[in-house]
Amino acid sequence: MKITRLETIPVSIPIHPRRAIRGGRGAHTVSPFLLVKVHTDEGIIGLGEVSCTPGWSGEDQVTAAHMVQTYLAPLLIGENPTDVERLTAKMRAAVANNPFTKSAIEMALWDILGKSVELPVYRLLGGPVREYVPTKFSVSGQPPEQAAEIAAWAVEQGFRTMKVKVGIEPNGDVARVRAVREAVGPDVRLGVDANGGWSPRVAVQTIRRLAEYGIYFAEQPVAPVDVAWLADVRRQVQVPVMADESVYTLQDAMAVVRADAADVLSVYVGKGGGIGPARKVAAVAEAAGLTCTVGSNLEMGVASAAMIHLALATPGIGAEDFPCDILSPFFYEDDFLAEPLPIKAGEARAPERPGLGVELDDDKVRFYSRQTV
Ligand SMILES: [Mg+2]
């Protein structure tokens, strides 16, 4: 089998207005994506999806399409798409950074491999280590009353774990977490995600204040500029610290481990450039006695499927203790999949079909490719 061409389709999906994300990195109301189709001479098409969030990775729909067509497609055309590991290394060697763009192609290669041998991706990764992937909800950085309302709604949907966006302003952050705790009661597990919005000093002070509301992790309390900042906070608080924006690559994971900077790593299919790289980050965590969760840029159906396969088959991801952020059906008004993923509040399952197990609804893809951001 040979790769014949790569097709890219920009799409933009509106977020349900009441659940639009506001956090330490600003507001997020529409999500732009780049869909990638990897075509082969045997008629199998692999699907991939780039989350285009410039504030995260510097990638958008235009840069992603440009990198795919100008640099990555010429490397891949004529190659055997089932050589996933070799082609991943080839992309890494040829183009620096752009991990979310590369991850779309990498997940499409897994999709092709799975379709060619008629196995779901999680089987290719060694089979399931859990029956389903525990998931949590994410409460946006709204004023306390709205945040409490959203959190109560999430509990009604069935969520038992959630995180609250903080890192905006310390007093407002504390008021929001207090309101959410009051709304959800004592039995819901609550974490906070500051998206790097606090300084080290404010992080320590605020996390100590939040202890009263029973938070059980603090995600990326400080900016990812220096891993010493994260380590500094971790030394001074009791709550487990989770590294998200600080960990993109395998080497980032190693640096966090060496600096004793985190208890939990948030792995993404996108940040490391694919499912394979994400599993390596999880292995570093496992070797260091840490654990991982799967974090999110509010991916749509194709990348969400990749996240589920990853979490289902990766022992270094401690999804039972730190449920994953696989929650697009709770945020978007629509999806571009022909059939929705089996995602419920608190649990995500993989489709039992070959490859990633998802198909596009071409009419919806056409419709959302006309929306502009
Ligand atoms: Mg995060």
CATH number reported for the structural domain that contains residue 83 in this entry? 3.30.390.10
130 & 265 share domain: yes
Q: Is residue 16 situated within a structural domain?
A: yes
* Residue 354, domain member (yes or no): no
Query: Ligand 1 centre from 175 Cα, in Å?
Result: 20
How many whole angstroms from 113 Cα to the centroid of ligand 1?
Answer: 30
Q: How far is the CA of 45 from the centre of ligand 1 (A)?
A: 32
Do 81 and 135 lie in a common domain?
no
Q: How far is the CA of 196 from the centre of ligand 1 (A)?
A: 9
73 and 220 in a single domain? The answer is no
Q: 81 C-alpha vs ligand 1 centroid, how far in Å?
A: 32
In a domain, 353, yes or no: no
Rounded distance from Cα 325 to ligand 1 centre (Å): 9
Asked if 195 and 336 sit in the same domain, the reply is: yes
- pLDDT of 371: 64
Ligand 1 center from residue 106 Cα (angstroms) = 22
pLDDT the model gives residue 333: 86
Q: Which residues of the chain have pLDDT under 50?
A: none
Residue found under tokens 């995260």: 56
- What is the total count of domains within the chain? 2
Separation of 343 CA from ligand 1 center, angstroms? 20
At 12, list the tokens: 């933009």
Distance 262 CA to ligand 1 centre (A): 13
| Ligand 1 mean position, distance from CA 372 (Å) | 26
CA 227 to ligand 1 centroid distance, Å? 16
Whether residue 210 is found in the same domain as residue 314: yes
Distance 108 CA to ligand 1 centre (A): 25
The answer to the question of residue 278 being in a domain is yes
The verdict on residue 221 lying in a domain is yes
pLDDT of residue 372: 56
Would you say residue 83 lies in a domain? yes
Q: Please indicate, yes or no, if residue 25 is contained in any of the structural domains.
A: yes
Give yes or no: residues 98 and 209 share one domain. Answer: no
The pLDDT of residue 98 is 98
In a shared domain, residues 166 and 247: yes
CATH of the domain at 278: 3.20.20.120
311 and 168 in a common domain: yes
Q: Domain check: are 97 and 162 in the same one?
A: no
If asked whether residues 56 and 16 sit together in one domain, one would say: yes
Question: Given this model, what pLDDT does residue 28 score?
Answer: 74
User: How many A from CA of 115 to the centre of ligand 1?
Assistant: 32
Give the Å distance between the CA of 74 and the centre of ligand 1. 34
Ligand 1 ion: nearby residues, β-carbon < 5 Å: 193, 244
φ/ψ (deg, to 5) at 49:
-145, 130
Measured distance CA(191)–CA(180) in Å, rounded: 11
| Residue-range definition of the domain harbouring residue 197 | 124-348
User: Cα of 75 to ligand 1 centre, how many Å?
Assistant: 33
Residue 108 shares a structural domain with residue 183: no
267 CA distance to ligand 1 middle (Å): 10
Q: Write the CA distances from 115 to 18, 49, 105, 269, integer angstroms.
A: 38, 17, 15, 20
Among 293, 372, 368, smallest CA distance to 332 is for 368
Query: Cβ contacts of residue 7 below 8 Å, gap of 6+?
Result: 36, 37, 39
**pLDDT number for residue 222:** 98
pLDDT at residue 16, rounded to an integer: 86
The count of other CB atoms within 10 Å of the CB of residue 152 is 15
pLDDT of residue 21: 66
CB 345 within 8 A of CB 159: yes
Q: Mark whether 191 and 238 lie in a shared domain.
A: yes
